[in-house]
Amino acid sequence: MMPCPKCDSANSIVKDSRPTMIGTGHAAIRRRRACGKCTYRWTTFETIGGDQRLGQQVKKLTAVLQRATQDLQSVSAELNIEAGRLLADEDG
Ligand SMILES: [Zn+2]
């Protein structure tokens, strides 16, 4: 239970919950709550379980991108060497 921020009563009810996005594309649930004791209303945001999983996916994707970048760099280095040879041959 989410205690009321005003009177600290645990007697709060969820009036409405809907999916939303917070920050940089984090999925979350936005909940409208109302206190059953003092009728105070407030909103809470709950991130959907698996922020950790999301972080791991981002890490995996970053690793794949790094590897691809390294591959591209080595390919472009080889191409440079090859181009250098071809130019040297033409000059020769
Ligand atoms: Zn209250």
Q: Where are the domains of the chain?
A: 1-49, 50-92
Does the pLDDT at position 91 exceed 70? no
CA of 13 to the centre of ligand 1 (A): 11
pTM of the predicted model as reported, rounded to 2 decimal places: 0.49
CA of 28 to the centre of ligand 1 (A): 24
CA of 30 to the centre of ligand 1 (A): 19
Q: DSSP assignment, residue 22?
A: E
In the prediction, which pLDDT does 66 show? Answer: 87
Spatial contact of 30 and 17, defined as CB atoms under 8 Å apart: yes
CA of 19 to the centre of ligand 1 (A): 25
**Rounded to an integer, what is the distance from CA 65 to the centroid of its chain?**
16
In the prediction, which pLDDT does 36 show? Answer: 94
Q: Is 9 exposed, middle or buried (0-12, 13-18, 19+ CB in 10 A)?
A: middle
Does the pLDDT at position 50 exceed 70? no
Does the pLDDT at position 51 exceed 80? no
Q: Options 3.40.50, 2.20.25, 2.60.40, 2.20.70; which CATH number does 1-49 get?
A: 2.20.25
pLDDT digits (tens, 9 = 90+) for 3-46: 999 999 999 999 999 988 877 777 888 999 999 999 999 998 88
